[in-house]
Chains A and B, each alone.
Chain A
Amino acid sequence: MSRGVLATEKRGIRELGAEEFVGWDEVTHGVILPSFEGELKENVSHIRPEERDYSDFNSYTATVASWRVIKPVYNRDICIDCQNCWVWCPDTSIISRDKQMLGIDYDHCKGCGVCVEVCPTNPKSLLMFGEAEEIEDALAKWPEKKKKAK
């Protein structure tokens, strides 16, 4: 995905549980976690995620990619930008900007498959493939339009 909309593209990303185990003198005061570095210049709902200064404590900077055994692959050519997958993704992993689908955030996607189920196109614009499958290979294997059973 281009346009620099992912955490990895901007700043790198860490595995959950791989953080450095600091001592009592370095843990946060009162177990309080700040969502961002420094001060937000405006209401956060007016700032696109890729423009926010996330703190290291924000889960945005972590990855759950290792949870997947299968992954969704996105086919831009078939997609109609209906945003079904966007609204129902439990992991904020369908990236949409200016009413256009950009694709999948593979750092945060857990491979649940909801996006595929709710995709209305025929053939679907999202399909599940093995985690190890290359995107190009998956796209090359895309099924044809299903005929309605009489």
Chain B
Amino acid sequence: MAEKMELKEVEVWDGNYAASQALRQAQVDVVSAYPITPSTPIVENYGAYVANGYVDGEFVMVESEHAAMSGCVGAAAAGGRVATATSSQGFALMVEVLYQASGMRLPIVMTVVNRALASPLNVRGDHGDMYLGRDSGWVQIDAFNAQEAYDLTLCAFKIGEDMRVRLPVMMHQDGFLTSHTAQNVHPLSDDEAYKFVGDYKPYEEMLDFTKPVTYGAQTEEDWHYEHKARQHKALMESKDVIDEVFAEFKKLTGREYKRVESYMMDDAEVAIVALGTTVETARVAADQLREEGIKAGVVAPRCFRPFPFDEMRDALENTKAIAVLDRSAPMGAMGALFNEVSAALYTTPNRPLVTNFIYGLGGRDFSVEEAKRIFKEQKAHADAGHITTPIQQFSGVRGPKLGFFETKRGN
């Protein structure tokens, strides 16, 4: 029987430690994992829990991240609760298995500590890895701080394992900025946390010998499309379960999470859309600008997948000018978040002015001052009635100003 931990009402945890505590409290049956900066402390902490009797399940220390996810898939198909953690290069290495896991409808939870992708090699936080897994079929939720890293990891189990979902779930947090920043975290007790997550319910499991099952069949042109459509539908409809789980969590803790987090958007004229710790930076900037009379607001698609198309549109459609911030090298196109937000806004009657900022690559700092500058640029667009800069700009890079693509609207 695993030992319980007595936790204080307020702990001082960084995002990694918070996530690892959530994994421990969820009483995961199999953690199949590999270390990689900056998620390494998650597996190290888990190893400490195992070595000191706090974990009843198995901890499989595999030989690569691809093996980590492969072990997770095999374990999940064998009918139990499974989790792992990774970042960046490891995430990239396991990408094919991510698609396989979701195609097989296996509820695995993975905390992704977001880090830039090589080359050049970089260990710091950006969203390159998050974007790489966009189409992998996982439910994807973003935490902006250590408390959320803890809360949302617990929610992830409940969402993925729900019989209406049965999909793997990623819980993202910014590398170093969240994962290595100690903050106040209000944890649940071991009993409360496990009660919230609940027992794992097996479904189509390989260890039920009365009902042998075949996982991983091949489909060609006659069948593939139907299976992918069915899977897509499940992912799209998971939003209802996500809302339910968030509502239940609010009842339990008082902390409310929404698939789209809107901040001061009721009357906002200008807005920033972002993910990760930048959301909080932008909120601080918005507060300060409100004092200057600028009606600034912040929107974050906390649930990155399934993308909250309708809710994003509703949150932003009456804003005049919006800057969408992408913390990932876009390589030949607009930022991914910009594209998705623009698509959501394209069919609105008002069609706000939307521009894209690439920022914070490889852990480059993004300051409150820069957020204010961007808000003010949006104000200039709003006042002019059209976009007064290139559509895509690079914020915070040294060297001559980089900007791409003009717009035909305006003037």
Contact = CB atoms under 8 A, between A and B. Distances in A.
In the complex they form, whether A and B have CB atoms below 8 Å apart is answered with yes
Contact of A31 (B104, B210, B229): B104
Interface size class of B (residues with CB under 8 A): 20 to 34
Given A21-B222, A24-B226, A31 B217 contact: yes
A31 B227 contact: yes
Contacts of A29: 105, 166, 204, 230
B215 interface: yes
Interface in B213-232: 213-217, 219, 222-223, 225-227, 229-231
A27 B213 contact: no
Interface stretch (A36-44, A81-89, A115-123): A36-44
A35 interface: yes
B211 A36 contact: yes
Nearest to B218: A31
B12 to A, nearest CB: 41
Interface in A11-54: 21-25, 27, 29-36, 38-41, 43-44
B166 A31 contact: no
Interface string B99-113: 000011110000000
A68 B270 CA distance: 73
Contact of A39 (B103, B210, B226, B227): B210
B230 A24 contact: yes
Contacts of A31: 103-104, 215-217, 219, 227
B233 interface: yes
Interface in A39-91: 39-41, 43-44, 57
A30 B223 contact: no
A23 B225 CA distance: 9
B164 to A, nearest CB: 11
Contacts of B226: 22-24, 27
A23 B213 CA distance: 21
A30 B214 contact: no
B178 to A, nearest CB: 32
Interface hub of A24, A30, A39, A57 (most chain B Cβ within 10 A): A30
B75 to A, nearest CB: 15
A22 B229 CA distance: 13
Interface hub of A21, A22, A27 (most chain B Cβ within 10 A): A27
Contacts of A34: 204, 211-214
Main secondary structure, interface of B, reads loop
A49 to B, nearest CB: 14
B214 A35 contact: yes
Contacts of B104: 30-32
Nearest to B224: A31
Contact of A32 (B209, B213, B219, B225): B213
A33 B210 contact: no
A31 B99 CA distance: 13
Given A32-B213, A39-B211, A27 B204 contact: no
Nearest to B208: A39
Contacts of B231: 30
A33 B213 CA distance: 6
Interface hub of B104, B229, B230 (most chain A Cβ within 10 A): B230
Interface string A127-147: 000000000000000000000
A24 B231 CA distance: 9
Contact of B210 (A25, A27, A30, A40): A40
B230 A33 contact: no
Given A25-B230, A27-B226, A27-B230, A40 B211 contact: yes
A43 B212 CA distance: 11
Given A24-B226, A30-B104, A43 B204 contact: no
A34 B226 CA distance: 18
Contacts of A36: 211-212
Contacts of B217: 31-33
Contacts of B213: 32-35
B214 A33 contact: yes
Contact of B209 (A25, A33, A43): A43
Contacts of B211: 34, 36, 38-40
6 contacts: A27-B226, A30-B106, A32-B215, A34-B213, A35-B214, A40-B212
Interface of A: 21-25, 27, 29-36, 38-41, 43-44, 57
Given A29-B230, A36-B211, 16 more contacts: A21-B222, A24-B227, A27-B223, A30-B104, A30-B105, A30-B106, A30-B231, A31-B103, A32-B105, A32-B215, A33-B214, A34-B211, A34-B213, A38-B211, A39-B210, A57-B214
4 interchain residue pairs of minimum CB distance: A30-B105, A24-B229, A39-B210, A33-B214
